[in-house]
Every structure is written in structure tokens, then in C-alpha cells.
Chains A and B, each alone.
Chain A
Amino acid sequence: MTPRTLFAKLWDAHVVHRFPGGGPALLYVDLHLVHEVTSPQAFAGLRQAGRRVRRPELTVATVDHNVPTGDRALPIEDPVSARQLDALAVNAREFGVELFDLRSPSQGIVHVIGPEQGFTQPGMIIVCGDSHTSTHGAFGALAVGIGTSEVEHVLATQCLVWSEPRTMEARLTGAAGPGVTAKDLILALIGSIGTAGATGHVIEYTGDAIRALSMEQRMTVCNMSIEAGARAGMIAPDETTFTYLAGRPRAPTGAAWTRAVEAWRGLQSDPGATYDRRVTLDAATVAPQVTWGTSPGMVTGVTGAVPDPADFPTDDERRAVSRALEYMGLAPGTPLAGLPIDRVFLGSCTNGRIEDLRAAARVVQGRRVASSVRAMVVPGSQQVRAQAEREGLDRVFREAGFEWRNAGCSMCLGMNADILQAGERCASTSNRNFEGRQGRGGRTHLMSPPMAAAAAVAGRLVDVRDWAS
């Protein structure tokens, strides 16, 4: 048989029908994750057409995008947010879908709780009305973000119509140096191939530098596949994957677990399988990354400086860079290290997991947040928050002067009250530095949790590698 990629194995196993004439395929969806912002119109569409949810038991809902992260005992101040949360509660009840609501001890960002609860498993096709669904590909699943019409389509039919994408292998070789995290690897890759570098492709991440990553770090890498243009990113499952999943509430148990792991071991690209495109990155060459512009591809090492628009080859790039620097309030040639910051955000589906909080806490331990900085930690889920509290990380953060908040997307996209004011500069562990993303006029610098933690203490961007001692 022709050697096949991991992607091809998952694709072939889920084709219900191929539309004739080289059209898209109808693919069966194993897990549909739902949140409050992109689902109300989909449920309304079902209701209007008199349709039901075809497989409610394969559908899981949570609230994350616009939930307040302050005191959960208080009523929600924003009536429009409250209406959207209520709509999801009503829809979940009416259509028989399990909901992790604000009262649930397992509520959290949809891409954190899927893996944490063991819903996310290798071999699955997973969809969600959210572009960061690519996160779940870290388990050897084919996980894609979809629009609201597609959400309605999956609810009604349990299938997704998708034109077969091309494949890209991103091989990360070598070993990352001290102070260099999964976030730095993926930012460096995006910087190298560009934000549209993988458009139309599904990325498979391979190589020693990927194998060396923990499950949570792999999720950080796959999470930002969309920032390289790829609708999905994936990593073949291995012992790291199985160890992470074993014993999770919704993971298989007993004989079913044994059978599942046996099958999952076959989920890797065959030797000799070909990809449409290959890119490589030597992890040993990567420094801690910081974005300087308004797109995740506008990124460089912390030892670098703000570039000069004149150094870019095309008119389009020169215009884009000039515009970005004007928005960011930065002059060409300014060293990134030393840039004063006003806010720090630790959290998001990219970097809101327990290992992220541990790594940040190690930097913060015994130090104080600079007096000019307001810093907050927003755990990715209530389970992450509880675990951190068991480990005493909340005390480390609180004593240093961080706000310790409840789970949600929070300042990653600023749909709730957690936003930047115009002109404020933020060291953020999130995934997008678009204009206005964290608040109109806000200036976002993306980086890793240890880098953001060090910035909070120093009051300016610093190279965390200098802090190792």
C-alpha cells in the first residue's frame, strides 16, 4: 500500500462520501465542542428548520469567551453577555447537550477542558466554532475550527463538508535551549513561514524537538497553527500522549483503554509518506520570542530590535510594517529588551495550563510585580486553577502582586471586562497581537509565560535567560 501521512489516515477513516467532480468530502465528526459566542445562531437555525441535534452525546458545550473572571458569586454585570450565556444554557437543555456552565468546577476554555476531561482523543475528527480548535491536534486528532453555519451543519448532520487540504511537514530538529519554550518554537516558525505560510494546508509537526515536548507544550504548538494559516496542526501520539490521557474522566478504561492505545500506536505517518510541502526549524537556534507588530508573524528574538520598514523587500510589506509600528508606538531600531510595559496577561488557550502557570511562578517566586505594572493570571480552566491552588502557586502570584482570577478567555480577546486601555502596552501569553484585540488602542506583545512573568517583575521586556540564576 502507498505510504500515508497521519493526516491521510485520519481523513480516509472519516470520509462518509466524496462529492463528485473533485469536490469536497463529507467527513464524520467524532467530537463537537460548542461555546456561547459562535453557537446561538446555529441553534436558532435548527429550531427554525425543526431539526434536532443528531448526536447530542458527541457534543459538549462550555462558556468561556465572554465570562467574567472576577468573583463568580456576583451577578454578571453586562446584560448582553448574560443573554448570550443564558442562550447557551437554554439551547443545551432543549437539545440535550452536556454543558459545563459557570457553576461547574470543570468550566474553562473549550480547548483546555476538552483535553483535561479526556474528551479529546487520538484518531478523532474534532470541530468547534473557534479557530484555535487546532489545539486538539496535539493528540493525533484532526481538529479544525469552523464557522457558525458549519456548527449548525455539524449539529444537524454530525458531518463536515471539507475540501481536502494539502499537507505540510514542519520538522523541528535539535534541542531548545534553557528559557526557550514551545511558545517560542511556534512563534519562530510563524515568523519564518509567515501568517499565510500554511494557508490551505494541515501541518504535521515532527522531529526531536517536538517529541521532547510535554502534552501541554504540544498543545501550545498546535494551538497557533492557525496563526500560520493552517486550519489544523497535528502531532502523532506517543507514550507522552497516552500517559497524559490515562485516567482522565472521559478517557476509555480497562480493556477499552488497552484496545484504544493499541490502535493509537498505528497513528503515525508511514515511512516514505510524502507531504505537499516541508519546512524545518532548528530549535537550538531559537531565542525567546517577542512580537513587535500587529500580526503574529511580526516577531523576533528578545535580543533583537524593532525592524526598519525600509529593510523589507516589497511595497506591501513596507506599508504593513509602517502601519504596525505606528499603531504599536515603536521606532525602528528600538531594542525589544528594555521596552517598558503597563500590563501583563498570563492565560489563554495557548498558555493557560498548569505547566504554564508553574513556569511563570518559578520566575515570580520571591519577587514583586513592578509598581508601574498591573498583572493578572487567568487560569485556562477551574481545574487548572484548583490544581494551582493545591500547589500554592496562587500564593506565589498573589504575594508578588498578580491578580488571581477565574477561568475564561479573558484578555486574550477582551470580550469581557478584562481589556487594555488605549496606548497601554501588554506582555501577553495569548495568541494574537492584532490591532485592538485586547482593547481598542491596546498594544500587545506576544511571548512565553516565563518571559511575561519576568516582564511583570522588571516592568519592561527582559531576556528571561538572564534570570536563570
Chain B
Amino acid sequence: MIEPFVRHTGAVAALPRADVDTDQIIPKQFLKRVERTGFGPALFYDWRFRPDGSVNSGFELNRPEAQGATILLAGANFGCGSSREHAVWALSEYGFRAILAPSFADIFYANCCQNGVLAVRLSSEEIAELLRRHAAAGGVYRLSIDLTEQRVEDGAGFAAPFTIDAYRREMLLHGLDEIGRTLLEEDRIAAYEKGRGKGNGEGKTW
């Protein structure tokens, strides 16, 4: 079952890099599992661990104050590249409930919604301000994200609204199963299929 997302308050980890691709989020050697679970330990594997398997203490998520973070502050075009949903499964299993960035790649954004992970688009200036506050607090920084109010705030003067389309908001608020939702439209699907022909437009005027 998908965990509903209504309001969440949690510790923030920052990864201020643009164009973080899904190959970095979950490297390909971990894509061979046939389950949806077991990807958390492999999150950002090549960044979190050195080639000899030891912990890379210089990587942002390995800092002591980033432990237990549930909100990830990221750069533009987060989640670009491969469509692998394993990237979202890994982020979610690691503990992240929300990702804040100036922009997300389209497929990654859709994959987040399918798994109860809230991807919040804020302006570049707002993300820069959050990064400043996170750094000024020595990395010990918390945010609240309210999906009903569509608002991010830190209780210390930062507050920003965000937009999300009504359909995806409902899905996240109630942890809805999209297949179950679509199957409510069975009559419409069946009617479309009747008039569809061969699917390649044969006999059709565009």
C-alpha cells in the first residue's frame, strides 16, 4: 500500500548539484532484483562508498547531521536520465518522503507520485535560500511540508507555496492506487476500444 502524504515534518539533507541522474541515484548493478524492495542500501552507492567499499565521509548524505533526514534538498533537473523507478524505490526505502528542487525530469516526477514520494518544485531562489538556511544551521535544519495547504515552511521565517495538479495531489493525499482509479473508467475504456480500429490510424482522417 502507498503511504498517504498529508503533512510531513522532518530533517533536511542537502545535495546542491544540478542534473543528478538516476544512474547516480541507483547504479545499474543494483537493477537486477525482481522485487520493489532492497534498493535503499544501494542509494547513491558510487557516491556514498569508495571503490574499496569504505564510507566516503565527504559525500553530503554521509555527514552525521544528514543521518535520519527525510527531506532532500536538490539541484535542478533532479532525476534525469533513465526511467528506472528503482531510483524512487531507493530514495523512499532510504527514508526520504519528499524531494525539493527547482525542477525534476518528467519520468522521475511521475514515478515519485506513484510511490507516495512528494516532489516539490520551488523556484531557484527559494531553493538557494533553503540551502543557505541549511548551511547556516550547520546542516541541522527541519522543514514542514503541508500538501493540503501546498506549503513549505521552516517555522523560522521561511514559507513558500507550491503547485501540484489536483489529480496527483489527491493520489498522494489518499495513497490511492492508480490502477484502481483508472478501472473505475472501465466503461469509457471499453467504449474507446470498440471504435478504435487497428490503432495505427488506418482509415482515419486526422
> Which residues of A come within 8 Å of B, CB atoms?
9, 13, 16-17, 19, 21-24, 26, 28, 30-31, 37-38, 40-41, 44, 49, 51, 58, 65-66, 78, 80-81, 83-84, 87, 121-124, 129-131, 145-150, 152-153, 156-159, 161, 163, 165, 195-196, 199-200, 226, 229, 231, 252, 256, 259-260, 263-264, 266-267, 295, 316-317, 319-320, 323, 413-415, 422, 432, 434-437, 440-441
Cβ contact of B166, chosen from A21, A263, A317, cutoff 8 A: A21
- Is the Cβ of B32 less than 8 Å from the Cβ of A436? no
Contact with A along B7-21 (1 / 0, CB 8 A): 000000000011101
- Is the Cβ of B167 less than 8 Å from the Cβ of A295? no
- Is the Cβ of B114 less than 8 Å from the Cβ of A150? yes
CB interface residues, B 187-205, toward A, < 8 Å: 188-189, 192-193, 196, 198-205
- Is the Cβ of A16 less than 8 Å from the Cβ of B189? yes
4 further interface pairs, Cβ-Cβ under 8 Å (given A256-B198, A316-B76, A320-B19): A28-B196, A123-B206, A148-B85, A195-B77
CB interface residues, B 78-102, toward A, < 8 Å: 80-86, 88
Cβ contact of B111, chosen from A24, A87, A147, cutoff 8 A: A147
CB distance from A235 to the nearest CB of B (A): 15
Q: Complex formed: what's the CA distance from A422 to B196 in Å?
A: 52
- Is the Cβ of B23 less than 8 Å from the Cβ of A124? no
* Contact A260 B200, CB 8 Å, known A147-B83, A196-B80, A229-B105: yes
- Is the Cβ of B106 less than 8 Å from the Cβ of A28? no
CB contacts (< 8 Å) of A121 on chain B: these are 200
Q: B115: CB under 8 A from chain A?
A: yes
Q: B107: CB under 8 A from chain A?
A: yes
- Is the Cβ of B182 less than 8 Å from the Cβ of A231? no
- Is the Cβ of B80 less than 8 Å from the Cβ of A195? yes
Cβ contact of B179, chosen from A51, A66, A130, A163, cutoff 8 A: A51
CB contacts (< 8 Å) of B189 on chain A: these are 16, 26, 28, 157-159
Count CB-based A-B contacts (< 8 Å). 214
CB distance from B37 to the nearest CB of A (A): 9
CB contacts (< 8 Å) of A17 on chain B: these are 185, 188
- Is the Cβ of B35 less than 8 Å from the Cβ of A153? no
* Contact A441 B114, CB 8 Å, known A158-B189, A259-B202, A435-B24: no
CB distance from B136 to the nearest CB of A (A): 17
Nearest residue (CB) in B for A258 is B202
Nearest residue (CB) in A for B21 is A434
* Contact A199 B110, CB 8 Å, known A28-B196, A84-B34, A123-B204: no
> Which residues of B come within 8 Å of A, CB atoms?
17-19, 21, 23-24, 27-29, 31-36, 46, 51, 75-77, 80-86, 88, 103, 105-107, 110-111, 114-115, 165-168, 178-179, 182-183, 185, 188-189, 192-193, 196, 198-206
- Is the Cβ of A267 less than 8 Å from the Cβ of B202? no
Cβ contact of B203, chosen from A28, A122, A263, cutoff 8 A: A263
Please name 11 pairs of A and B residues whose Cβ atoms are closer than 8 Å in the assembled complex, sorted by A. Answer: A16-B185, A49-B179, A78-B32, A83-B34, A148-B111, A150-B111, A196-B80, A199-B103, A266-B205, A295-B21, A415-B32
Q: Complex formed: what's the CA distance from A129 to B111 in Å?
A: 11
CB contacts (< 8 Å) of A58 on chain B: these are 199
CB contacts (< 8 Å) of A159 on chain B: these are 182, 189
Q: Complex formed: what's the CA distance from A19 to B198 in Å?
A: 25
Q: Complex formed: what's the CA distance from A26 to B184 in Å?
A: 12
* Contact A149 B114, CB 8 Å, known A231-B107, A259-B202: yes
- Is the Cβ of B202 less than 8 Å from the Cβ of A252? yes
CB contacts (< 8 Å) of B106 on chain A: these are 165, 199-200, 229, 231
Q: Complex formed: what's the CA distance from A200 to B81 in Å?
A: 14
CB contacts (< 8 Å) of B33 on chain A: these are 80
Most A CB within 10 A of own CB, among B35, B77, B103, B201: B201
CB contacts (< 8 Å) of B80 on chain A: these are 195-196, 229
CB contacts (< 8 Å) of B193 on chain A: these are 28, 158
* Contact A13 B201, CB 8 Å, known A22-B165, A28-B189: yes
- Is the Cβ of A38 less than 8 Å from the Cβ of B85? yes
Q: Complex formed: what's the CA distance from A129 to B87 in Å?
A: 13
Cβ contact of B167, chosen from A24, A30, A157, A432, cutoff 8 A: A24
- Is the Cβ of B81 less than 8 Å from the Cβ of A131? yes
Most A CB within 10 A of own CB, among B35, B84, B115: B84
CB contacts (< 8 Å) of B192 on chain A: these are 16, 28
- Is the Cβ of A38 less than 8 Å from the Cβ of B84? yes
- Is the Cβ of B115 less than 8 Å from the Cβ of A437? no
Nearest residue (CB) in B for A270 is B206
- Is the Cβ of B31 less than 8 Å from the Cβ of A260? no
CB distance from A190 to the nearest CB of B (A): 12
- Is the Cβ of B114 less than 8 Å from the Cβ of A415? no
Most A CB within 10 A of own CB, among B35, B103, B115, B204: B204
- Is the Cβ of B28 less than 8 Å from the Cβ of A414? yes
- Is the Cβ of A13 less than 8 Å from the Cβ of B178? no
CB contacts (< 8 Å) of B86 on chain A: these are 148
- Is the Cβ of A147 less than 8 Å from the Cβ of B107? yes
- Is the Cβ of B115 less than 8 Å from the Cβ of A149? yes
Q: Complex formed: what's the CA distance from A51 to B183 in Å?
A: 11
* Contact A146 B179, CB 8 Å, known A84-B34, A320-B18: no
CB contacts (< 8 Å) of A435 on chain B: these are 23-24, 46
Q: Complex formed: what's the CA distance from A52 to B66 in Å?
A: 43
Nearest residue (CB) in A for B203 is A259
